[in-house]
């Protein structure tokens, strides 16, 4: 969290993460170039450059899209999510190099504007296999451009969370465009089945992981749907670790119950920043801390510490014996609810 906007809030972890990204990019480009020169010595330099950066961008995009569902399936992978923004922006830069060199190479020697040429050099729009695949790549790059340029918290605050989230969910559409760009473009000429199979493995991994995570989440969403009374059983008091949360479902929305300092509090599970799962975070310095980007909330009133102004809903709790119950009706955002003391 930061009061003032800064392009990057550097810290040691971010520097390490970025060094790993840069190292990965350099190593990939070297390996790709060496293998290409050995296996395809007739390839000209421009084609090598276009293919190296194109394949790297696809690989990075596949990794980025796997991180989200992997974290949903196993919270020990949360560190991967920490600086995904930098990985995304790096991927956009790599994809841009591929796109710019492709346009320079294929579309600048004619008398048509290169961008117009991308859309008009092949007009077979009603054919599947002859479809102008470069248009698909161009549109995907355009989406990535808008995502990369609005990936900062400044844009999140000014565009509003709903619009911002919708904009950033278009990455799924961009991924689909990229898959078809690859299969209708490069693979129409390349006869290597191994590369096709690798791309299909990437596609399968992304789709399967997202569906596995989605159906895991659906199972949790379906619990508590038939609740009729005001109070819903959550769990036993000894099931929540100290300074940790337990997520439950109230009227289709997730709620996080936290245990800290021998007391319990419950708040909405949805972080106001990027809708991260607060219940998977922990109490740090007396505040619930979002596992995604470190946004903090007071567990008793759901308010961010001053001077921040974000608020989330709070919930009433009661303990009967060693069983925790939650009132399924949320209090207005920022409402103070005294914590329930328990001996543990």
Partner 1 sequence: MNSALRKRHRFIWLAIGAVIPVLVILSIIYKPHYSENIKILEQPEALDYVASTFENQHLLVNIRTDNSSLQLELEIKKPFKAASASLHIFYNPDEKVNIGRLGGQGIYRFEIKEVPLRIEVFDFIKEEIVTELVF
Give, in order, the Cα–Cα distances in Å from 40 to each of 47, 52, 58, 96, 190. 11, 13, 21, 24, 12
Residue 336's alpha-carbon distances to 89, 234, 242, 269, 299, in angstroms, are: 40, 21, 21, 16, 9
Residue 245-284 contact track with partner 1, rule CB under 8 A, x = bound: -------xxx---------------x----x-x-------
- For partner 1, the closer of residues 174 and 340 by Cβ is 174
CB of 47 to partner 1, least distance (A): 6
CB of 270 to partner 1, least distance (A): 5
With 0-12 / 13-18 / 19 or more C-beta atoms within 10 angstroms meaning exposed / middle / buried, residue 115 is exposed
Angstrom distance (rounded) from CA 178 to CA 59: 11
Nearest distance from C-beta of residue 68 to partner 1, angstroms: 9
Kindly give, in sequence order, each residue whose CB lies less than 8 Å from that of residue 19, ignoring residues fewer than 6 positions away.
Answer: none
State which residue, 52 or 340, has the beta carbon closest to partner 1.
52
Using CB under 8 A, pick the residue from 183, 198, 310, 339 that binds partner 1: 183
Q: At its nearest, how many Å lie between partner 1 and the CB of residue 166? A: 9
Tell me the closest approach of the beta carbon of residue 291 to partner 1, in angstroms: 13
**Residue 311: CB partners within 8 Å, gap ≥ 6?**
272, 301, 302, 303, 304, 333, 334
* Nearest residue (CB) to partner 1, 189 versus 228: 189
Q: Which of residues 26-65 bind partner 1 (CB under 8 A)?
A: 40-44, 46-47, 50
**Smaller CB distance to partner 1: residue 63 or 179?**
179
Q: What whole-number distance in Å separates Cα of residue 254 and Cα of residue 340?
A: 20
Quick note: the x/- pattern for partner 1 over 206-245, rule CB under 8 A, is: -xx-xx--xx-xx--x------------------------
DSSP string computed for 110-177: SSS-HHHHHHHS---TT-STTS-HHHHHHHHHHHHHHHHHT-SHHHHHHH-HHHHHHHHHTHHHHHHH
Token pair recorded at residue 237:
């008091």
Nearer to partner 1, 3 or 128 (CB): 128
Nearest to 22 by CA among 87, 114, 80: 87
Number of C-beta neighbours around residue 288 at 10 A: 27
Radius of gyration of the chain (CA): 24
Q: For residues 104-143, which are near partner 1 according to CB under 8 A?
A: 105-106, 109-110, 121-122, 124, 128-130, 134
* Nearest to partner 1 of 82, 106 (CB atom): 106
For residues 310 to 339, the per-residue mask of contacts with partner 1, x marking binding by CB under 8 A and - elsewhere, is ------------------------------
**Contact residues for partner 1, defined by CB under 8 A:** 40-44, 46-47, 50, 105-106, 109-110, 121-122, 124, 128-130, 134, 165, 169, 172, 175-176, 179-180, 183-184, 187-189, 191, 196, 200, 203, 207-208, 210-211, 214-215, 217-218, 221, 252-254, 270, 275, 277
């Amino acid at each position: 969290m930061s009061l003032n906007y800064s392009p990057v809030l550097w810290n040691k972890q971010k520097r390490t993460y970025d060094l790993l990204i840069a190292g990965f990019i350099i190593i990939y480009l070297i390996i790709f170039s060496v293998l290409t020169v050995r296996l395809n010595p007739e390839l000209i330099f421009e084609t090598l450059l276009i293919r190296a950066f194109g394949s790297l961008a696809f690989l990075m995009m596949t990794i980025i899209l796997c991180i989200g569902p992997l974290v949903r399936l196993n919270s020990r992978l949360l560190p991967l999510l920490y600086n995904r923004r930098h990985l995304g922006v790096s991927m956009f830069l790599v994809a841009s190099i591929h796109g710019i060199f492709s346009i320079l190479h294929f579309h600048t020697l004619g008398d048509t504007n290169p961008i117009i040429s991308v859309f008009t050099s092949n007009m077979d729009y009603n054919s599947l296999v002859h479809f102008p695949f470069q248009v698909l790549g161009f549109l995907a790059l355009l989406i990535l451009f808008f995502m990369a340029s609005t990936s900062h918290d400044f844009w999140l605050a000014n565009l509003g969370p709903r619009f911002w989230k919708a904009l950033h969910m278009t990455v799924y559409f961009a991924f689909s465009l990229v898959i078809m760009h690859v299969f209708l473009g490069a693979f129409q000429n390349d006869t290597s089945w191994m590369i096709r199979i690798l791309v299909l493995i990437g596609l399968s991994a992304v789709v399967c992981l997202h569906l596995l995570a989605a159906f895991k989440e659906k199972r949790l969403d379906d619990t508590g749907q038939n609740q009729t009374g005001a109070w819903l059983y959550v769990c036993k008091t000894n099931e929540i670790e100290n300074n940790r949360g337990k997520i439950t479902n109230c009227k289709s929305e997730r709620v996080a119950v936290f245990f800290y300092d021998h007391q319990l509090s419950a708040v909405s599970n949805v972080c106001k920043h990027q809708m991260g799962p607060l219940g998977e975070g922990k109490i740090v310095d007396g505040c619930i801390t979002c596992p995604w980007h470190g946004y903090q909330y007071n567990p008793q009133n759901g308010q961010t510490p001053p001077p921040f102004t974000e608020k989330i809903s709070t919930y009433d709790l009661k303990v009967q014996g060693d069983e925790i119950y939650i009132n399924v009706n949320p209090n207005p955002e920022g409402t103070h609810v005294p914590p329930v003391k328990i001996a543990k």
